[in-house]
Amino acid sequence: DVKVTQSSRYLVKRTGEKVFLECVQDMDHENMFWYRQDPGLGLRLIYFSYDVKMKEKGDIPEGYSVSREKKERFSLILESASTNQTSMYLCASSPVRRTLHFGNGTRLTVT
Amino acid sequence: AQKITQTQPGMFVQEKEAVTLDCTYDTSDQSYGLFWYKQPSSGEMIFLIYQGSYDEQNATEGRYSLNFQKARKSANLVISASQLGDSAMYFCAMRDTGTYKYIFGTGTRLKVLA
């Protein structure tokens, strides 16, 4: 079974802090994704990566950056956390043109 | 721009009955993939079913089937014989074959009543 692991299930940070959300997959998938999920808005794509060191902006990249130094790890970085970034963050991976496999999510609260 | 629309924010169904969750999509691509995911209250996203745009048969997976009507650009999920454990949020999604992006709808919250 594919395993996508997000480092934290719950996270509380202060406004202005730099926040790292980590995601690791164990199936050698080429593609990795970061989504945020908000009530009534569904899942919105923040960034995705189709290869090591390659990244593409999704629909809502502002305020976020990503890093993919190794194939199995995709990190989401909030450079200066703000309260409007309080949300559920979902990481996913997939082989090329195949089903997404999701982690369990990180519920981030910025106070 | 590609888009997924789920017009039912919430639905109720009686246990053992069938229910249809609506999904319409918008794309100019000829080749695309459509997915349904289930998200229980625990938060995990569970893949349910996939339909390719060139697949002639509607996809089925156990109690789940996808009613694919290409001309209408709809990909409705049908759950037969609903169970209490089917209570969850359901998301329709489309894979953009031009990029690597997967686009999601806003979801439908299904509640199965005993």
| A31·B100 Cβ contact <8 A | yes
Q: How far away is chain B from the Cα of A102, in angstroms, using its nearest Cα?
A: 6
CA-to-CA distance for A110 and B21, rounded, in angstroms?
A: 34
Residue B108 has a pLDDT of 97
DSSP code string of A45-94: EEEEEEETTEEEE-S--TTEEEEEEETTEEEEEESS--GGG-EEEEEEEE
Is the pLDDT confidence value at A1 over 80?
A: no
User: Mean pLDDT across the stretch B92-96?
Assistant: 91
Provide the token pair at B51: 């339909």
What's the pLDDT band for A99 if we cut at 50, 70, 90? confident
In terms of C-beta density within 10 A (0-12 exposed, 13-18 middle, 19 or more buried), how is residue B69 classed?
exposed
In terms of C-beta density within 10 A (0-12 exposed, 13-18 middle, 19 or more buried), how is residue B101 classed?
middle
Residue B101 has a pLDDT of 84
User: Mean pLDDT across the stretch B90-101?
Assistant: 86
- Chain A partners of B95 at a C-beta cutoff of 8 Å? 97
- Chain A partners of B40 at a C-beta cutoff of 8 Å? none
For residue B88, which of B105, B106, B108 has the smallest C-alpha distance? B108
| B45·A102 Cβ contact <8 A | yes
Q: How far away is chain B from the Cα of A18, in angstroms, using its nearest Cα?
A: 25
| B45·A92 Cβ contact <8 A | yes
A100: closest chain B residue by CA: B47
Q: A104 CB near a chain B CB, below 8 Å?
A: yes
Report residue A85: phi and psi, to 5°.
-100, 5
For A26-63, b where at least 16 C-beta lie within 10 A, e where not — what string? Answer: eeebbbbbbbbbeeeebbbbbbbbbeeeebeebeeeee
| B43·A101 Cβ contact <8 A | no
What's the pLDDT band for B6 if we cut at 50, 70, 90? very high
Residue-wise pLDDT tens digits, A3-60: 999 989 999 999 999 999 999 999 999 999 999 999 999 999 999 999 999 999 999 9
For chain B, what percent of residues have pLDDT higher than 70? 100
CA-to-CA distance for B103 and A100, rounded, in angstroms?
A: 11
Q: Read off the DSSP letter of residue B59.
A: P
DSSP-based three-state secondary structure for A33: strand
For residue A105, which of A2, A4, A26 has the smallest C-alpha distance? A4
B96: closest chain A residue by CA: A97
